[in-house]
Structure formats: C-alpha cells, structure tokens
Structure 1
C-alpha cells in the first residue's frame, strides 16, 4: 500500500476509534474520511480488530516521533529540564487529542479479542518508566546516605499524579492552551524541589 494511503487510513481510524470506541467505530466512516474504499481497508487489515491494532501502533509511533524520548537529557538544572520536557509532553497530548484518546481506549477498554495483546503492550511500555526515572536520579549528585531507589519511586509517583491531572484537564477543556496547564506543571516541579531538599551534596555547601 502507498505510504500516503496507509497514513490516511490509520489517521482516520485513530480519530474514529478515539471518538466512538471500538464497538461503535464505523469502517465505512474510516473509508470515507481516508478517501479509500472499504474493500481496500479490509484487503490490507483483514478485520476491524487488526485495523485497531495497527492504529494503536501508529499512535505510539507518532508519540515516539514527536516526543523523541531517547534524546532527552538531564544534564544541568534538573527542574528546568523537567519543566521543558513536561511542557513538550502536555503540548503534544493537547495538540494530538485523538492519539491520547486512542491509546487510553486501547489500554483501558480494548476489544475483547485484543485484550491480551494490549495488556502485554502496556506492560512493555510501563516497564520503560523506571529506566527513565533512574536516568534522572543517576544524574543527581546525591548525598551518600540518600536511597536513590526511594527517590526514584517518589519522582515516579509525583509524575503519574500530575500527568493524570493534566490529561484530565485537557479532556474536559478541549480548547484549553498549554499556558493553562502551567499551574499543574509548576506544582509538579515544586513538589520535586521539595522532595530534593537536603538530599543533594550542594545543599550542604
């Protein structure tokens, strides 16, 4: 299939699944929105379930491309770096609401036939988070008596809580701007600052 047609189909599918969920999503509407025949869609994806799975993978691909997590570094001022990256993340999910909704639906309300696959995929994705926060903590010049593993767990907890709040706000305020999310970002960073107080070697200088 031509790459342009494939992207058109998957983009239309992500929107349809995000808005209506798997059961109510219409392959007729996906075909219409992507300007291809329904027969072509089923020729390449065979079933609605396989189209859903391909759409999830494409949504993840978009996320990874736009956010480029592998290039993130935390040298220098950690709080400023986190502020920058949090803003990027919130802006991405705000600008790509269909991608966010699609992924949330896939992991919380997957088609019965794909439940096991989505569970495994979610497990793979969440297994990356500890590595991400470990990278952050490893870059910190901690005092010798600080338990890095505990600090890492604290960071993960704060991040999950405030990211959930930000996503919920974006969902309930679809016309909101990233500027409106800044209070949530700033509160998250303030909590991190409090968590780091007295734990860095520089604090005793």
Structure 2
C-alpha cells in the first residue's frame, strides 16, 4: 500500500516521517494538520496524499513504523538468555528508559496513540494495540524459569496477577498523562514504583 513512499530515498522518507511524528505527537490525531506536516517536510500536500492516500493511512503507517522500530531495537537489547522473571523485567525497564532518551519523539508519538480517543480511528487502533500487547507479552514470557515460583500456588494465576498488576499500572500512568499539560510524564518515579512492585510480587510468589 505504501510502496510509492518506500521507494523514495531514505533522507526524504525520514524527513516526512519525522515531520508527521512531530505533528501528531504534539497535537493528537484530530488536531494535527497535514498542512503543517508538508510544510515541515518540504513537500506538497498532493505528494503526501499520493504516498499515503489520506491522513488516517498516514497515521496507520506511522504507528506500524514506530512500533516496529521500537520492538526490533528492544528485542536486540533485552537479554532473553536471562531466565529469571523479575531480572528480565528490570532489564526491559532499563532498555525502555535508554530508548526514551534516544527516540523521544517516537515514544511520545506512541504514547499519544495509546491516549488517543478520536472516534475516526479509536476502534481500529484499540484492536491494533491489543494485538501488539498480546504478541509482546507472549514473546516476553518465552524461556522464563518458572521453577522459581511457589509450588503451592497455581502458576497461571500467579502470571495473571502479575500481568494485571502491571496492566493496571499502565492504565494509571496513561490516565495521569491525560491530566498533565502536553501529556508529559516523569518516568523515573514510575521506574521507582515499578521496582517496589517487583519486590512485593517476588516476595509473594517466589520460593
């Protein structure tokens, strides 16, 4: 679908992508202006729609592009040879913090997608976000040494409790972001709180 865009030289692709990410991240889907995107990218509006068809398709492309870039880099940096469940989570958090520093605009855009409530795209993106979460959670649990967990508690229930805990934390973080100017978040307190939950859950469920 996006073959015309992908046939462009890399510099022009990056210029368009960066301009679009910046606009959507700052203003959200409904308020983002394709006029501002083409102005920033140095192309005509006709060319933008020639490459992507419409605003919604551009947004879909950016979401797939950003999540693929993040997950590819994430999987390269997280040591999946580490079989301890909580050590792997700690590594994952550290990698995410590092990537927030190297790709701030991309993370800001993805964060805004998860906060987006535009009716034009909400149903489609809710489905995409659920699918992405399901795939990544499945990958994350691969190779974990479950023998460290208590034998007297159902392992499936343990995993559900841990998963629900961090899903609820994510929901609270997103709600917090919605109530702040420009949806800004201070991630270090979030990391500190996550570490506290690690210790509680480890005490509860490890032998």
Q: TM-score, normalised by structure 1?
A: 0.74
Q: Which residue of 1 aligns with 2:3?
A: none
Q: Deviations over 1:174-205 (max 9, x none)?
A: 596x6xx1x542432332232233644xx4xx
RMSD of aligned alpha carbons: 3.3
Q: Deviations over 1:23-57 (max 9, x none)?
A: 22121211122222222211111212211211212
Matched, 1:21 2:28: yes
In 2, Cα distance between equivalents of 1:175 and 1:156 = 22
Matched, 1:193 2:199: yes
Structure 1 residue 112 displacement after superposition? 3.7
User: Which runs of structure 2 are paired with 1:101-112 in the superposition (5 Å)?
Assistant: 101-109=108-116, 111-112=118-119
Aligned length: 196
**Is contact 2:77-2:95 (8 Å) kept?**
no
Unaligned runs of 5+ in 2: 1-7
Matched, 1:144 2:154: no
Q: Which residue of 2 aligns with 1:99?
A: 106
**Is contact 2:78-2:95 (8 Å) kept?**
no
**Is contact 1:110-1:118 (8 Å) kept?**
no
**Is contact 1:137-1:151 (8 Å) kept?**
no
In 1, Cα distance between equivalents of 2:185 and 2:108 = 15
Matched, 1:30 2:37: yes
Structure 1 residue 128 displacement after superposition? 2.4
In 2, Cα distance between equivalents of 1:4 and 1:45 = 17
Q: Secondary structure of the residue that 2:24 maps to in structure 1?
A: helix
Q: Which residue of 2 aligns with 1:73?
A: 80
Q: Which residue of 1 aligns with 2:49?
A: 42
Structure 1 residue 123 displacement after superposition? 2.1
In 1, Cα distance between equivalents of 2:195 and 2:185 = 24
In 1, Cα distance between equivalents of 2:53 and 2:117 = 18
**Is contact 2:85-2:144 (8 Å) kept?**
no
- Match among 161, 165, 185 for residue 158 of structure 1: 165
